[in-house]
Amino acid sequence: MVSRPRSAHTLIELVLVLVIIGLTTLVMLRQVQLVLDRVATRSAARAAGELIARARDESISQQTMVALRIDTSAAVLDLRTRTGSLARAPLGTTYGVSLSATRDSIAFDVRGLGYGAANVALIARRGVAANTVFVSRLGRVRY
């Protein structure tokens, strides 16, 4: 009787397949992390832009000066009037981003004009992703 060899995979073939799967997974995880960083910075920039627009709207509707304080060390935006706080956006804890800005505050008068708002750039960063919000003197927000 002649015995036929079994058709099976060798240990080297199995290890090679596992290494290929591991490398592919590693590449995909890096891409997923990059996408998550981009989404987080985009969302933080949108939230900052909405708060800046709200500051302008509140100054016009309440007929009072409204200030937006940008705390880059804590990554927090704080919207205040003379009577107290209107809103607070902790972008660092909510989206996991760090902030940098060209100014530390913006104030809007009763006409909605921004003092200290001329060409303000607010940058949200996470990982290698970054998004910038630009504010004009008229309070217009551009992403």
* H runs (alpha helix) in the chain: 11-62, 91-95
Sketch the domain layout of the chain as residue ranges.
11-142
Options 3.40.50.1370, 3.40.50.1220, 3.40.50.11240, 3.55.40.10; CATH for 11-142 is 3.55.40.10
Q: Give the pLDDT of residue 137.
A: 82
Q: Give the pLDDT of residue 1.
A: 64
> Which residues, in sequence order, are CB contacts of 40 under 8 Å at separation 6+?
95, 96, 97, 124, 126, 129
Return the C-alpha torsion angle 66, 46, 104, 139, nearest 10. Answer: -50
Query: Average pLDDT over the chain, rounded to whole?
Result: 92
Would you give per-residue pLDDT tens digits along the chain (143 residues)?
Answer: 667 777 777 899 999 999 999 999 998 999 999 999 999 999 999 999 999 999 999 999 999 999 999 999 999 999 999 999 999 999 999 999 999 999 999 999 999 898 877 789 999 999 999 999 999 888 889 98
Cα 55 from Cα 141, distance rounded (Å): 11
Distances (CA, A) of 73 to 63, 70, 116: 31, 9, 19
